[in-house]
Structure 1
C-alpha cells in the first residue's frame, strides 16, 4: 500500500485513474499481499494497522495509534466520480481508547485541487474511551468532481478503530448500484454526432438567421435552467444539432415552445448541475462536461454554431459584467450568426472567436490554445525593440543590438505598413477592458512578423530613417529586477513580480524604520501578498472589497455575496509613507492587491489607469479544442464602486513623456520619491 503524506493532490492522478468498480472494500475484508486493506491509503503522518480482534463484524477492522498530540493520521478511500445524486452520506463504526484530541469519519469532495466539501466531524468529535458505535455524515454531491474521499481520522493522542463503512447516494447504498443504472441516460454514451454535425448553411435568409437566433437563446436558457438538463440526462450540444434541421419549418416557433415546455415541466432541480458548478469560496463558475470536438472540420456550420451559442450562454448567465459590454449582449447572436456560417477555414473561425470575445470588454478573455495559424497571423518573431504609446506616438523605450536607433525615436512604419494602419488592424483582434490595456496589448503584437529580417521606419525630430532589423522568437527583455532594494532618501523599494514565496514579511520588517515604502505594481505579483503585506501596514482590520456572484437557483442574477477584509489590531504597524505605483500592466491579482493597499494609512497611488480586469477567472471550452477565460465574479469597492473596465484610478496621475524616455528616466518612480520627500 502506498503511503501518502500531507498533499492530497500528490495522489490525485492515481485515484482519478481508478476503474469503475462495483466491488467496494468498505469493510476492510480484502487485503493486499502486504496485509493492508486493498484500495485504502494512509493519509497523514501516522501508520494504520489491521486488527483481527477488535472488530464489529467480518475478519478485520483497521486501527490508528498516536502518541504525539501534534500529529494526525487517516485511512482513506477514493470513490469513483461517476456517482450522481443530490447528497452523499458516509456511515461507519468507530471505537476509541484514551483519545485526547478528536476522532471522526472523513468525507471530502475535490474539484480543481480545491476541497469544495469537507467534514471530519470536528463539530461533534469522538473523544475519550468509547465502545463500537455507528456514526454518519452527509454532504452535497457535486457532478464532475475530481475526487471523492471517505475514511476515518484521528488528531491528537490515543487509539481508534474503524469498521464496516458504507456510502449512500440519496439514501441508497452504492453497494446496490449497478453500472447499467449508472450509465442510463449518460450523455457520454451519446455518439449521434461524434463525426460532425452534417449541418451546412450557405447564404442564410433573414428568416433562417432569426430562427437560429431564437434557437440559440432558448438552447442557452434550457441548458442552464432546465431541471432535466441539469441532471445530465442529455448531451445538450447534440440536442441543439438535432433542432438545426428544422429551422425552415413553418411550425418552428411552436416547436420551440413545446420543447421548452417539455424540459421545464418539473419543479426546480436543487442538486448539482451537469454543466455547471461553483468554486466553494470564490463562487466563480466552473463550466463542466463541455465537448471540445478536437477533430472539428472548420466548415462544419453546426459545430461553429455550438461555439457561438455556448459562449453566448456562458456570458448571458454567468458573466457578472454583462451589462457593461459596449454594444449590449442581446443582439450578439443576430450579429454573429451570419459571420460564423461564413467562416469556413481555421483562421477565419478563430479570428472570429477573438472578435466575439472582444465584445465582452474583459481583458481576462485572453486567447488560449488557438494554434499555429493565429500565431502566424500576428507573427512568430519579434523585433528586439520595446515601444510605448507616448503623446500619441509609438516611441522606442528600449532596444537590443539595433544600430542607429535612439530612445524616444518614433516608429512610423513596420515592414512597409504604415504604423497607424497596422495599429487599427491589430486592434480589431485585441481584447481589452479599457483603452489603457488595449494599447498595452496592441504594442505586444505591433513589431511581430514571420520574417527573419524586417525594415522599420523611424522619425527623429524632422529626420526619417529606416533600419533593417533582425528578428527572433526569443524574449529579448527579461524582467530581472530584484524583489527589493534601498533607494535614496531612506526609501525601501519592493517589486512584487520578483518576490519569493513568503518573502514579503521579512522585507517589510527589514524596512520598518524607513521613511517610505514603494510598492511597484506595474507587473504581476509572483506571490499572493494581498493579506500578508497589508496586515503589517494596517493598525486594524479594514474591509476593502466586496463581490457579486450568481448561483444555481438564480442564474443570471448577481448579488453581493462576500466581502474581503485585511489587517488586524496591530499597534506596531508601519507608520511611514506607503506609495503604490500602477499603470496598464497592473491587472487582476495586482489590481486586487492595490485595492487592499488603498485602505492603508498614509498611502498614495501614483501612475496611470490600470487594466480593469479584477477577480478570479473561469475557463470556457469551445469546439476546436479552444479555450478562453472570463472574469467569474464581480469585484467592487465597499461603497459599491466598480473596478471592471475602470481599473484603479491613481491619486496622482503621472504619464511617461517622450523627454523622460529619451533621458531613460522612470518618471512615475521619480514622482513617488518626490512625494515621500516633500509630501506633495
Structure 2
C-alpha cells in the first residue's frame, strides 16, 4: 500500500461512526453550488490533509456558479496532500459504485491529481482508489474522470472527493455518484441486518465484577476462547444472524452467576443450542496436502465438559460454513484477512468491564484464527489470554486500559502491529512534546544521529554523535526496560528503532539530558516542542534523487523516491556500470519488485511463496505455489549488486530484497531487518483503537521464514558512533569498497 494512501486512510478513520447511518438527506452538494455559512468551503464538504488551501472559485467552473479549488502552499512538506472530501451514508443496495467528476489542472508537478472514492465498513476501509496509478499531472482544461469500485453489502460510509499532491492547483466540479450505473439516490435502501437491529447494549455491557478470584479468571479465559470459536466456526454467527459482541454480554453474567461446574456447562450448552442446528460436511481431521498449519482445537476436549456439550461443540467444529463470513473475509487474490463489521465503539474512551473484555477477546481470537505467524509468537498464546484477563478487567481508567491493549498488541511480535491512530490517553502518558533531536541505538547506546529540525536541533546543545546516558535522571537502561513492553516489533533491533524516537519525549517543555561527548560527560536542558513543529519523516524523504552515479562505474538506486516509470530512462546508464548499490534502508515509493527484477535477472527465478488463512476452517493455513521474478533477458545487468539493509527495511522493502537477491552476483550487507512481511490486515477494537497484523505468511521457496528473522545479510555491518559523529555512511562506504575491490 502506498504511504500516501495510508496517511489518507488513517486521517479519516477517527471520524468513523459506530451507529447505522440513515438517509437523512439526498442533497450532498456534489456540484459545489451551496456555500456553508461562515465557512470558505461548500456545504457538506470538509478538508483533509495539510499544506494545501481549499477555496470556492467563481471564476473557474465547469458549469453552474462555482467550483472548488485545491492549491499547494509554501507550508506543504514532503508526503503531504490536500483533499476535499464529502461523506455519504452507505444505506443503499448495489454491486458497483462509481464517482464521476470534472477536473481542471494548472502546473501540477512532482505529484498527481485525482478523484478519491473510498468505501468504509464498520471496521474500516473496504475499497479505495485515488487515481494515483493514472499519474494525472501538468496543465489541462476541464476533463471528466471516473473511479469505479466494488460496493459491498458491508459498506457503512462512502467518502467522495479529490486529492492533490505535489505543487500546483486543481479545480473540481460537477460530481456524480452512481450505484450500478444510476444516481445513488435512486438505488434501493438496504434493510437493517439482525446485528444492526440488536441495540440492547449500546449504552453499556451491564457486566460487573467484584473481587477477582482465580476461578473467575479461569472462567473468563474459557469463555473468551469459546466465544471466539463460535464466532468463527458456527454458521449462524458466520451468516450474521447474531450480534456476537452483545451475545458475549448475555453469556458473561450467566457464567459469573453459575454456582457449580454443572450449572456453568448447562449455560454454555444452552448458549450453543440457541444458535440452532448445523449441517455436517467435513471430517474432524480437516484437509491435508498443502496445509502448513492446522487449527489446534484440542483445548475443547481438555476443558472437562460432559459428553453432551462436547458432542455439541464437535458438531460446530465440523459444520458446513457459508462461503461469505459476516465478521471476516479474505482480500481477493491476496487472501489476507479483512476483519469487517467490527463495531469500533469509538465514543467509548474508557469502556466498561464487559467492553474491555470484548477488546481482549476480539483481538486474541483474530490472532488465534487468522494470524499466519501465530506459531512464531514465541510463547503460549492461550497463556497470554489468561494473563491479560485480570489486566483488562482491572484497568481502572482509560490510560490503564489503553496501555493494556498496547501491551497485548506488542505480544504478537509483529512490526506491522501497533496502535495506528492518534490516541489522546497514550500521548498523555508517553508525552505530547518532542525534542528536535533524532536518536538511534548505535553500538547498543542511545546516540544522536540527526536532527528532525536543523535549526531547533542545533539550538538543543546536543551534537550528532553524542551518547545519551540519562534523561530526567533515569538511565537509558531504565527507560528501555519501562518502554519495551509497550513497543511492538518483530525483533529486538526493530523495537529499539521504534523506541528511539520516544526517548526524548515529555509533557514538559524541557528535558534534562546527560550525555557523553569525546569521553567527557555533561548535562544540558533540551527544549521539547509540540509534534506539529517536529517532522519525524524529514530525514526519510530528503534524498535528492532515486538514481545517481557514484563515480563513472558505480550506480546508486534509492527505491524510497523511485517511480516504476523511471526505470526505462535509468536503464541505459545503469547497464554501463560495473556495480549497482540498491539502498533498501527505506520503504519503496512505488512497487518495483517485478519491473526492476526484469533488468537484474537473466531468466525468471522463484523467490517467494505465501500462506493464506481459511474461512471454511479458521486457524488453517495453506501454502501457495512459488512466485518468480525476472524474465528471459540476455541483456540483463552483469555487474556486481550490493543491497544495503537495516532495521528500517520493512515489509515491501523486505519483499523487494527477496526478489532482487535472486539475481546473479548479489551480496546483501547491513544488519537485521524489521522482520514483518505480508500485506497488512487492519483491526479495529473498542474505543476506536486501530491496529493491524501481517496478514499473509511470506516464505522463501525452500520454506525459510522472514517473519521476526528478517532478511539475513551476507555481510553484517553496522554504523559506529565514530562514523555517525563524522557524518559517514559506513554501509555505503563498504558497498562502494566491495564493488571497487573487484
The 2-side partners of 1:17 and 1:200 are apart by 31
Check the 8 A contact 1:224/1:230 in 2, yes or no. yes
- 2:266 corresponds in structure 1 to 254
- 1:494 corresponds in structure 2 to 557
- 2:521 corresponds in structure 1 to 464
Where do residues 590-669 of structure 1 align in structure 2 (5 Å cutoff)?
590-669=653-732
- SS of 1:356's equivalent in the other structure is helix
Question: Equivalent of 1:281, from 314, 333, 339?
Answer: 333
- Shift in alpha-carbon separation, 1:354–1:544, aligned structure 2, 3 A: same
Do residues 565 (structure 1) and 632 (structure 2) align? Answer: no
The 2-side partners of 1:347 and 1:208 are apart by 24
The 2-side partners of 1:608 and 1:491 are apart by 22
Question: Equivalent of 2:408, from 356, 372, 389?
Answer: 356
The 2-side partners of 1:145 and 1:664 are apart by 51
Check the 8 A contact 2:233/2:321 in 1, yes or no. no
Q: How does the TM-score come out when normalised to structure 2?
A: 0.67
Q: How does the TM-score come out when normalised to structure 1?
A: 0.73
- SS of 1:522's equivalent in the other structure is coil
Do residues 442 (structure 1) and 492 (structure 2) align? Answer: no
Check the 8 A contact 1:362/1:613 in 2, yes or no. yes
Check the 8 A contact 2:93/2:188 in 1, yes or no. no
- 1:112 corresponds in structure 2 to 126
* Displacement after TM superposition at 1:405 (Å): 3.7
* Displacement after TM superposition at 1:609 (Å): 0.8
Question: Equivalent of 2:241, from 233, 236, 241?
Answer: 233
- 2:39 corresponds in structure 1 to none
Do residues 515 (structure 1) and 578 (structure 2) align? Answer: yes
The 2-side partners of 1:326 and 1:533 are apart by 36
Do residues 475 (structure 1) and 487 (structure 2) align? Answer: no
The 2-side partners of 1:270 and 1:244 are apart by 27
- 1:408 corresponds in structure 2 to 465
* Displacement after TM superposition at 1:269 (Å): 2.6
Where do residues 132-151 of structure 1 align in structure 2 (5 Å cutoff)?
143-144=153-154
- SS of 1:554's equivalent in the other structure is coil
- Shift in alpha-carbon separation, 1:113–1:404, aligned structure 2, 3 A: closer
- Shift in alpha-carbon separation, 1:581–1:277, aligned structure 2, 3 A: same
Do residues 429 (structure 1) and 486 (structure 2) align? Answer: yes
Aligned length in residues:
532
1:307-365 alpha-carbon deviations (Å, 9 max, x no partner)? 00000110000000111112221112211110001112111111110100011011100
1:113-137 alpha-carbon deviations (Å, 9 max, x no partner)? 379xxxxxxxxxxxxxxxxxxxxxx
- 1:373 corresponds in structure 2 to 425
The 1-side partners of 2:484 and 2:596 are apart by 37
Larger relative contact order (Cα-Cα within 8 Å, sequence gap ≥ 6) = 2
- 2:206 corresponds in structure 1 to 198
Check the 8 A contact 2:368/2:619 in 1, yes or no. yes
* Displacement after TM superposition at 1:461 (Å): 4.5
- SS of 1:411's equivalent in the other structure is strand
- Shift in alpha-carbon separation, 1:82–1:254, aligned structure 2, 3 A: farther
Structure 1: where are the runs of 5+ without partners?
A: 1-15, 21-78, 89-108, 116-139, 149-166, 168-176
* Displacement after TM superposition at 1:254 (Å): 2.7
C-alpha RMSD of matched pairs (Å): 3.0
The 2-side partners of 1:19 and 1:387 are apart by 51
- SS of 1:207's equivalent in the other structure is helix
Structure 2: where are the runs of 5+ without partners?
A: 1-19, 25-89, 97-118, 130-149, 159-179, 181-186, 280-319, 452-456
- SS of 2:687's equivalent in the other structure is coil
Question: Equivalent of 1:213, from 210, 221, 224?
Answer: 221
* Displacement after TM superposition at 1:664 (Å): 1.8
The 2-side partners of 1:263 and 1:635 are apart by 37
Check the 8 A contact 1:143/1:273 in 2, yes or no. no
Question: Equivalent of 2:277, from 249, 265, 290?
Answer: 265
* Displacement after TM superposition at 1:415 (Å): 2.3
- Shift in alpha-carbon separation, 1:334–1:292, aligned structure 2, 3 A: same
Residue range with higher mean Cα deviation, 267-276 or 611-620: 267-276
The 2-side partners of 1:17 and 1:210 are apart by 39
- Shift in alpha-carbon separation, 1:562–1:241, aligned structure 2, 3 A: farther
* Displacement after TM superposition at 1:82 (Å): 5.3
Check the 8 A contact 1:196/1:296 in 2, yes or no. no
- SS of 1:204's equivalent in the other structure is coil
The 1-side partners of 2:714 and 2:519 are apart by 37
* Displacement after TM superposition at 1:143 (Å): 5.0
Do residues 334 (structure 1) and 352 (structure 2) align? Answer: no
- 1:243 corresponds in structure 2 to 251
The 2-side partners of 1:574 and 1:217 are apart by 54
- Shift in alpha-carbon separation, 1:398–1:210, aligned structure 2, 3 A: same
Check the 8 A contact 2:564/2:592 in 1, yes or no. no
- SS of 2:392's equivalent in the other structure is helix
Check the 8 A contact 1:457/1:466 in 2, yes or no. yes
Check the 8 A contact 2:357/2:389 in 1, yes or no. yes
- SS of 1:579's equivalent in the other structure is strand
The 2-side partners of 1:270 and 1:217 are apart by 22
Check the 8 A contact 2:91/2:156 in 1, yes or no. no
1:223-254 alpha-carbon deviations (Å, 9 max, x no partner)? 01100011110100000000111123121123
The 2-side partners of 1:83 and 1:498 are apart by 39
1:443-498 alpha-carbon deviations (Å, 9 max, x no partner)? 01111122222221111344211122222231274331122222135211111112
- 1:671 corresponds in structure 2 to 734
The 2-side partners of 1:321 and 1:348 are apart by 28
Do residues 574 (structure 1) and 637 (structure 2) align? Answer: yes
- SS of 1:609's equivalent in the other structure is coil
Check the 8 A contact 2:562/2:589 in 1, yes or no. yes
Question: Larger radius of gyration, structure 1 or 2?
Answer: 1
- Shift in alpha-carbon separation, 1:563–1:263, aligned structure 2, 3 A: farther
* Displacement after TM superposition at 1:404 (Å): 5.0
Check the 8 A contact 2:676/2:708 in 1, yes or no. yes
The 2-side partners of 1:339 and 1:253 are apart by 26
The 1-side partners of 2:520 and 2:481 are apart by 25
Where do residues 91-102 of structure 1 align in structure 2 (5 Å cutoff)?
none
Check the 8 A contact 2:93/2:189 in 1, yes or no. no
Check the 8 A contact 1:226/1:264 in 2, yes or no. no
Check the 8 A contact 2:410/2:418 in 1, yes or no. no
